[in-house]
Amino acid sequence: MGLNVQKPNQPKLWLLASLIGLNINLFSDQQAKAFVPYVFNPNSKDLNITSISFGKTAAQLLHFGQTKEASRVAKLAVRLNPNDDRLWSILAETQARNRLFKKASQSLAKAKRINPKNANLWFAEGSLQLQQKNPKGAILYLREGLALDPNNATAYFQLGNARIMESKLKLALHAFKKAEKIKPKFWEAINNQGLVLFEMGKKKEAIKTWRNVLAIKENPEPMLALAAALNQIHKTSQESLTLAKTALTQNPNYVSRKHQADQLWGRKLQQATKQLFKHPELSYDVERALANSN
């Protein structure tokens, strides 16, 4: 009905605000002074400190998977301090996690205008292009970043992934080896060497590579890839069955060919895995993985 119904004993803040706004003197001079509102005007230093605090909070929210909340806080951070490339970078990450790729790219563009010498911004754009299945764009940005930071193992790893998407396997292998050289225990880069070697028909080299990966990190991806490769060489290999069971238990998503493709598994490895899953001893494990996968 348009009426402000107040509960008894509730402070009528709206009335106080109207009295201050109209400057109605219902009190003595001493009383009136007590009601003069104090307005805090923060300086640029205060705003910068607050914006950095918001940026850290947004990063923490991202860490815990609260992407929408992180995006809201990151937006506040860049409003308070639009000249800090780090804050734009955090905002871009929140937008990418929410699959707002165009907005994420725009945020990164603003960050790069502020600090074009920050290689990580170019790498982030390259990663963003990979998420959008644009390997050519990714390669351009990654190369720009590598010109500024030529010893970045992650950038070479991403470059290798882009080359796989382009089906340029030799160039992909070279990039992954470069990443391993910079960071010898970079198991993801070593694992992807195995993916490339298997597609190139070098099964024994791929098997050796995945064994090297598992010596560094027991991960379901190299487990299942190794199992599929061993099964092609030794159809009754108990090792391949054991590896496959463990891999599907740890990550049932690998039962899906779509998930395998998303992890850049080539057709040969996908086909080898399909053959492995037909083994009678794996029927229960495959059914359970299908039920538990995303």
Residue at 119 is within a domain = no
Residue at 33 is within a domain = no
Q: What is the mean pLDDT of the chain?
A: 88
Question: In CATH, what number is assigned to the domain containing residue 273?
Answer: 1.25.40.10
Domain that holds residue 222: 185-294
Residue at 163 is within a domain = no
Residue 30, pLDDT above cutoff 70: no
Dump pLDDT digits (tens) for 181-209: 999 999 999 999 999 999 999 999 999 99
Residue at 279 is within a domain = yes
DSSP string of the chain? Answer: -------TT---HHHHHHHHHHT---S-HHHHHHTPPP-----HHHHHHHHHHHHHHHHHHHHTT-HHHHHHHHHHHHHH-TT-HHHHHHHHHHHHHTT-HHHHHHHHHHHHHH-TT-HHHHHHHHHHHHHTT-HHHHHHHHHHHHHH-TT-HHHHHHHHHHHHHTT-HHHHHHHHHHHHHHSTT-HHHHHHHHHHHHHTT-HHHHHHHHHHHHHH---HHHHHHHHHHHHHH-TT-HHHHHHHHHHHHH-GGGGSHHHHHHTT--HHHHHHHHHHHTSGGGHHHHHHHHHH--
Residue 45, pLDDT above cutoff 80: no
Answering whether pTM is above 0.85, one says: no
Dump pLDDT digits (tens) for 146-183: 999 999 999 999 999 999 999 999 999 999 999 999 99
Residue at 215 is within a domain = yes
Residue 32, pLDDT above cutoff 50: no
Lowest-confidence pick of 46-50, 86-90, 157-161: 46-50
Lowest-confidence pick of 11-15, 66-70, 129-133: 11-15
Residue 3, pLDDT above cutoff 80: no
Residue at 201 is within a domain = yes
Residue at 264 is within a domain = yes
Residue at 249 is within a domain = yes
Number of domains in the chain: 1
